[in-house]
Structure 1
Amino acid sequence: MALLKVLLLLGLGVSVNSDVSLQKRIIGGHNCDDTERLYHVRLVMTNGPISTICAGSLIHPQWILTTADCYELEPRTNVAMFKVHPRATEVYIQQIRQRPVLYTDDSRKHNIILLKLQTPVTNVPLAPLPDCSNRPKIGDTVQLAGEGETTTGPNNRRLRTGRIPAHLQCVDMKVVQVSQSRSFGYIFRAEEPNKDACNGESGGAVVFNGKIYGVISLDSSHYACKKPVSIMDVCEYIGWIKKTIGDK
């Protein structure tokens, strides 16, 4: 019952009001088009009265692509919510019971995972995987999206609590760094003045030419708009992804 109450609350989509900031988050963003990103998944990790929001993308009727930050083992309960964009009258909810499939390289865990659903989702469009022969280059524009905080604190300090905005937020950024190897995996980076992703956006799809080329992987900065957004480079993992989900 407690979990149900939390999910109902999250589904209300009430924006946070703040007296200390007028900035919007995703910072500098706008409402995503209602005909796009229908594959967006809201991931909720609940432990007692505390819930954490993340994002993911349905890339197969039984598989969600997201970051490792967006799943935690027991005692947390992990739930996937579909049809949250555009906001539907009835949101479809499914608890994730299977452990995630992790990508590892030389015993190093990368910040990208695949979550398997117990029951296939057949009434939600799937996210298109990338054409890795045409990857984003420096200067190209990519689109990020998420349901994180809609305000910041004093001096652009990131907020960690609040309610989900009434509409999925999108923001365009330019690629400033192509794929690089870091301790948590292969990333590229994007930025735009006075624009940023925030807590709650981890795992969200980064789109280029209508396809998913990246997954948002937030750094631990306490302040917004200070550095480019780190993005897991899906093309570096495309072989693993297709093998795992059975896509030839």
Structure 2
Amino acid sequence: MKTMKTMMILSGVLLLSLMLAEATLGNIQKRIIGGHDCGATERLYHAVIEYHKDIVVGKNRPAPAFTCGGSLISKQWVLTVAHCAPDADDIKDGWKLYVRLGAHPSGLNDVTLVEENNIHIFKDKGNIEHDIMLLHLTVERTAKDTTFAKPPDCSPTSVPGKTSKLKLGNTVQIAGYGATQADSNGNKVIGESDTLQCVEYEVVRCVNLSESTKKQHVFCTKRVNVDTCPGDSGGGVVFGGDQLYGVHKGAIKRACHLPGIVMDVCEYKDWIWKTTHIPTWEIKP
């Protein structure tokens, strides 16, 4: 069973751009690890997944044990990664999962508790969980500035056997909060950015995938001197505007080394539709 300590390590990935600076501060190299601040009209659907104990929604609350990212795909549904879900031990210990909306760009604290029975994780025919999850919000998001991530266009093309899924070399954008530094050994420093970061990556071939990941539907991303770090896995990977083609699964500890791994939303689109019944996510002939 996972422990909260393990969950804090796995909890995901934030965006960062790695650039050497001339000076150092202690053993932390003064590198800027963060693409650029997302624009005021970008990523308004970005959600923050938090773990807390014994808080009251609407009241001041302590810092969360860890955070993940997610994407609001309708008034009541958030798409993220499954490794951000609480396990039985976490629940027994009193940890609860909350979704925070409206943090970007206004810094609002629109927080909703997600009960255990509103957590939906994909399972394949062998009853094996994949690292993708839907969270059902019991309270609709109705703020006037609400936007939703759009479904990807995974439809067949005029070429037999081909679809409009992502191709190698396509440029995608990832967003998240988290560490903005690497230490002198190039290792990612856990922390959080004050602002939502956006950064562009290229779709590349996956390498060194674990056996369990090979059995899931993923694609990989990379760009020279750009990487993701612990703090915001689950963030949306978009292409062609706000079309949600992926959910960020994770990256390794050492900065800018191997490609990041992304859950391929096209392969899970039918499950999303059958779970949520959001009209725009229906796969039509």
TM-score (norm 2): 0.74
The CA distance in 2 between the partners of 1:145 and 1:114, in whole Å, is 18
Equivalent-residue separation in structure 1 for 2:31 and 2:141 (angstroms): 36
Deviations 1:164-217 (A, max 9, x none): 322110111111138x99624210001001101111120000010011100000
Matches within 5 A, 1:124-139: 124-133=146-155, 134-139=164-169
Q: 1:118 aligns with which of 112, 115, 138?
A: 138
Where do residues 172-191 of structure 1 align in structure 2 (5 Å cutoff)?
A: 172-177=200-205, 183-184=212-213, 185-191=216-222
Structure 1: runs of 5 or more not aligned: 1-16
Q: 1:21 to 1:47 in 2, by over 3 A?
A: farther
State the one-letter code of the partner of 1:129.
P
Aligned partner (choices 135, 154, 158) of residue 188 of structure 2: 158
Counterpart residue type for residue 84 of structure 1: A
Instruction: Give SS of 2:100's match.
Output: strand
Deviation beyond 3 Å, 4+ runs, structure 1: 47-50
Could you tell me which residue of structure 2 aligns to residue 96 of structure 1? Answer: 114
Pick from 18, 24, 29 the counterpart of residue 21 of structure 1: 29
Number of aligned residue pairs: 225
Structure 2 CA distance, aligned partners of 1:239 and 1:155?
Answer: 43
Greater gyration radius: 2
**Match in the other structure for 1:213:** 245
Distance in 1 between residues matched to 2:115 and 2:267, nearest whole Å: 27
CA RMSD in angstroms, aligned pairs only: 2.1
Mapped to 2, the partners of 1:173 and 1:18 lie a distance apart of: 29
Q: TM-score, normalised by structure 1?
A: 0.84
User: How far, CA to CA, are the matches of 1:122 and 1:55 in structure 2?
Assistant: 20
Farther off after superposition, 147-156 or 17-26: 17-26
Task: Assess if the C-alpha contact under 8 Å between 1:40 and 1:57 holds in 2.
Answer: yes
Which structure 2 segments of 5+ residues have no match? 1-23, 55-62, 156-163
Distance change in 2, residues 1:181/1:236 (3 Å): farther
Q: Which position in structure 1 is the counterpart of 2:50?
A: 44
More displaced stretch, 132-141 vs 225-234:
132-141
Identity of aligned residues (%): 36
Residue in structure 2 matched with residue 142 of structure 1 by the alignment: 172
**Segment of structure 1 superposing worse, 46-55 or 96-105:** 46-55
